[in-house]
Structure 1
């Protein structure tokens, strides 16, 4: 079995109707929020409204949640689903198998998140949507690659990686950006936001501006690119290495 065959098989698995419905529901949060912003935020320009929706719904919700669902399930779902032994008998090296499944997850997250961003842009910007959306269609796959690589590494390390992934994204990333000092650098989304150029209108209040004035967080675009690249490479290396040598035994899925 070649790398491309394993990638194609994994992609087909992730695009089964039942999974597509789940991915579509997650992706619909952004457009739903965009509709609300269109009618309830008349005091802001269209680009401001889109920036808010993209920051809060497309990147921070849809991309991250899809990354958790697909990234953490790369190995863990086969362990809890008792199909890991069958998976390991495929005529392909373990690192190649891991990378093929990760790539399928990254592609799927990129597609659904990009469609969500496209719908948001059409709702809020009308015919002029491509001018603003162009950069997002480039940054979204980059962010999807980074997040799925981190969650894929967790999938090779833990039986139930979704718990740690949710704890990190909701318990840390949702508020760490507002903490004075360099704590925001612990959030992967901080670097994604630098690359995307989006900032939610709600984040531009006086308190947050004061915090940033007292403790400026300067993340340059080059630093953001370097950090995302390093995080991706390290995560994939760790995940592939652990999966290549680890022992995986089918287990019952319990709460």
Structure 2
């Protein structure tokens, strides 16, 4: 993190069990995504498989990243810190760095790889990948099939939810509830009639509470709120029925194409 002029939060030392037991600390712990290992020295270490499994069993509840935690437990006291560019973490690099290529080892941890040809850190991965034996005709066909099935599945699910919503508000009037700034967009998106009410929420509505004055016998509430999961519990506790009295409106909107397909799934065919 020092390369990005970011400091490690030292208060985290009190929360991580590896630190609490003095097995490592924020200065000596390492990310295990890229390791350069001396094989001969590793062999002389002896068996670490069974002790590693024993460590995992003893601390299963505390472990967050099993491989990384075990490796830190054994090696964090005695290893050589390599320069940052031996492990260019894309999570950090895309958060704090610049879209400029550096000489080094790129680590596409988590969900950091995308299909964005305007992003040089994506391009360099695919330029290398097409030169590997894994990029074959079989892979291309299978990855296309996965892409097609994922998108088709998402569209089918979205269509099903919208049909269910249409059945719920058939013969009744919709009441949309959402942020004030989204009213015009949602009215246009859902072809709302002028007489259909929109409960516009401004800042601080959480403290004031929701005003839901319309009769459930003649109206259906459609919510567009980030806090819908918590709201659902409150409404159901009050006797409201989801898909009859209220609906999660955000679930009816097909995700943007960049969120519709997880690029990592196209590599699961290999």
Give the structure-1-normalised TM-score: 0.19
Q: Which has the larger radius of gyration?
A: 2
Structure number with greater CO (CA < 8 Å, separation at least 6) is 1
Give the structure-2-normalised TM-score: 0.18
Q: Which has the higher strand share?
A: 2
